[in-house]
């Protein structure tokens, strides 16, 4: 097949936001279908490929409602990729505490709870989906996201998918005092650098301000760190691409996530080749 389709497979735990994600993809122009049995997916994709010229981007919802059909998913996934389609599997997750709260708030029964508790249902589902999670190209943890933020995340991840299919590189700054981010691929601690927080005239500014950027970037240790980071990424990113990775998250953390990590993420954005990777920047804690 000369020109395969772009296929996003949405899967994950009940209550993690899969339905919101599928609706967001539909708004982005994807042709979406939910809960199609796994063995029927190749037939459906063949129909889409041959029937409508403008159906190039498809989103599929896949979860435990597929029952025994899910055991066929690894073979189905391999078949789709062997046929030349560009498949990205996105697994949605959240902590047990968050899932429990969401079910209690909506008063929905958990599909695997049976006569037991919601907590027991969550445990059964998490166990049953272990293999699906292992096959995912990307895991999105929605524990800290509301509905609107999740929709924004989907737009950030998928609105700029292009026919060149370059790897998406997500650059994230964060503060360790607010917890480490979920599901990052490369996480680096930059708290060894001098902290602008302890400079009175810089404390209330952020890493987006030129004065803070100059304070951080003029340090010899910053220059050495960035040189070594450049070498690491120059070596590693092409290898991630070779292994079929479609998105990569690089997280840089400082104490509060407002100064050093922000400066370095902005600097890293300038250094990476924008013609080779699709870059996305997020400063998680800059407003805290």
- Interval 267-279 mean pLDDT: 85
Does residue 201 have a pLDDT over 90?
Answer: yes
Looking at the structure, tell me whether residues 139 and 175 fall in a common domain: no
Does residue 162 have a pLDDT over 50?
Answer: no
Looking at the structure, tell me whether residues 174 and 143 fall in a common domain: no
Looking at the structure, tell me whether residues 158 and 172 fall in a common domain: no
Q: What CA–CA distance (Å, rounded) separates 157 from 168?
A: 8
Q: What CA–CA distance (Å, rounded) separates 12 from 2?
A: 31
pLDDT in tens, 50-93: 665 556 789 999 887 766 667 888 888 998 888 888 899 999 99
- What contacts 193, CB < 8 A, 6 or more positions away? 216, 219, 221, 222, 225, 254, 260
Q: What local confidence, expressed as pLDDT, does residue 241 receive?
A: 80
* Residue 288 located in a structural domain: no
Write down which residue in 105, 134, 165 finishes a domain.
165
Higher pLDDT, 71 or 205: 205
Higher pLDDT, 79 or 1: 79
Average pLDDT, the chain: 87
Looking at the structure, tell me whether residues 152 and 13 fall in a common domain: yes
* Residue 45 located in a structural domain: yes
Looking at the structure, tell me whether residues 37 and 154 fall in a common domain: yes
- Interval 253-259 mean pLDDT: 97
* Residue 75 located in a structural domain: yes
pLDDT in tens, 104-141: 887 788 888 878 898 998 998 999 898 889 889 889 99
Looking at the structure, tell me whether residues 135 and 37 fall in a common domain: yes
Q: What local confidence, expressed as pLDDT, does residue 163 receive?
A: 43
To 5 degrees, how large is the angle CA 288–CA 94–CA 170?
60
Looking at the structure, tell me whether residues 63 and 74 fall in a common domain: yes
CA 56 to chain centre: 22
Q: What local confidence, expressed as pLDDT, does residue 2 receive?
A: 46
Q: What local confidence, expressed as pLDDT, does residue 167 receive?
A: 81
Q: What local confidence, expressed as pLDDT, does residue 50 receive?
A: 63
87 exposure class (CB count in 10 Å sphere: 0-12, 13-18, 19+): buried
Say if residues 171 and 279 touch (Cβ distance below 8 Å): yes
* Residue 1 located in a structural domain: no
Q: What local confidence, expressed as pLDDT, does residue 1 receive?
A: 42
Boundaries of domain holding 113 = 6-165
Q: What local confidence, expressed as pLDDT, does residue 160 receive?
A: 58
- Interval 141-164 mean pLDDT: 78
Write down which residue in 165, 199, 226 finishes a domain.
165
Looking at the structure, tell me whether residues 140 and 30 fall in a common domain: yes
Q: What local confidence, expressed as pLDDT, does residue 191 receive?
A: 97
* 24-28, 45-49, 124-128, 221-225, range with the lowest pLDDT: 45-49
Domain count, the chain: 2
pLDDT in tens, 8-36: 999 999 999 999 999 989 888 888 998 88
Write down which residue in 135, 165, 195 finishes a domain.
165
Looking at the structure, tell me whether residues 119 and 181 fall in a common domain: no
- Interval 220-224 mean pLDDT: 96
Tokens 């922000």 — which residue? 262
Looking at the structure, tell me whether residues 40 and 181 fall in a common domain: no
* DSSP class of 90: E
* Residue 274 located in a structural domain: yes
Looking at the structure, tell me whether residues 85 and 218 fall in a common domain: no
User: CATH no. for residue 131?
Assistant: 3.40.50.300
Looking at the structure, tell me whether residues 123 and 102 fall in a common domain: yes
């Amino acid at each position: 097949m000369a020109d395969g389709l772009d296929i996003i497979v949405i899967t994950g735990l009940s209550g993690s936001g899969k339905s919101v994600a599928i609706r967001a993809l539909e708004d982005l122009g994807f042709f979406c279908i939910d809960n199609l049995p796994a063995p029927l997916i190749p037939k459906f994709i063949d129909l889409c490929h041959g029937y409508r010229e403008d159906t190039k981007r498809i989103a599929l919802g896949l979860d435990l409602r597929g029952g025994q059909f899910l055991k066929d998913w690894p073979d189905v996934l391999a078949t789709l990729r062997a046929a030349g389609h560009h498949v990205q599997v996105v697994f949605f997750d959240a902590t047990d505490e968050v899932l429990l709260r969401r079910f209690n708030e909506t008063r929905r029964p958990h599909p695997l709870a049976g006569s037991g508790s919601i907590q027991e249902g969550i445990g059964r589902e998490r166990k049953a989906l272990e293999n699906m999670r292992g096959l995912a190209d990307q895991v999105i943890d929605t524990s800290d996201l509301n509905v609107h933020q999740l929709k924004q995340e989907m737009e950030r991840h998928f609105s700029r998918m292009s026919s060149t299919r370059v790897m998406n590189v997500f650059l994230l700054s964060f503060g360790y005092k607010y917890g480490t981010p979920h599901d990052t691929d490369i996480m680096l601690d930059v708290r060894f650098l001098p902290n602008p927080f302890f400079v009175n005239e810089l404390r209330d500014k952020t890493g987006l301000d030129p004065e803070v950027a100059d304070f951080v970037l003029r340090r010899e240790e910053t220059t050495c760190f960035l040189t070594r980071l450049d070498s690491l990424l120059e070596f590693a990113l092409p290898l991630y691409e070779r292994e079929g990775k479609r998105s990569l998250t690089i997280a840089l953390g400082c104490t509060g996530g407002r100064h050093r990590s922000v400066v370095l993420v902005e600097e890293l954005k300038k250094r990476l080749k924008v013609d080779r990777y699709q870059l996305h920047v997020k400063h998680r804690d800059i407003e805290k």
